Structure 1
């Protein structure tokens, strides 16, 4: 289970207000860490390699549990659209609060023909 806090900006669901902060819980089926180092390397004429580490991005692959509740799916869509422009949000998983941004595009998967959807997205810790 993860708790997400964000400011509604886009695709605001009925009964909600643009600019308001909302918090909701979402069941998570996958929380896979994916650290990614940002580095540059060069090789001298003698063959010696030099590496320069710029930073290490802390990222996670997140997958939600399949859901068919229209209200929860609408809130997930509102959340993902509201942070699509690089806005930060807070996510708490396993008792650790992180300030993150969405990295890349989320993907929606129809789990079965009855209307259960799962959402996959990547988050990068904003440091």
Structure 2
């Protein structure tokens, strides 16, 4: 999912791009999991290429990596890690993810950064 926030004449001057990148990593070796991993491999490669393109671009971008998305009310209680792995990330409500994304727009510490987030 891409969220593009622009400013300027006619929407041509994009100032901030926020992208959500979700992918559950499987840690077991059952036949079913191996099959799923093979099917996801192309997606993993595509996401890695996309992130590489972002890094080369002149955009102010943020890649937000939530774990499992859940339904539920906004709590405002979430943890983030910028350019780091977030330990014990179990899930986040869609409402909290949206809340963070909107609030992060003016935060220059998140520009050209990968952010992991979890409740």
TM value normalised by structure 2: 0.26
- Tell me the TM-score normalised to structure 1 length: 0.25
- Structure with the higher strand share, 1 or 2: 1
- Decide which structure has the larger Cα Rg and report it: 1
Q: Say which structure is richer in helix.
A: 2
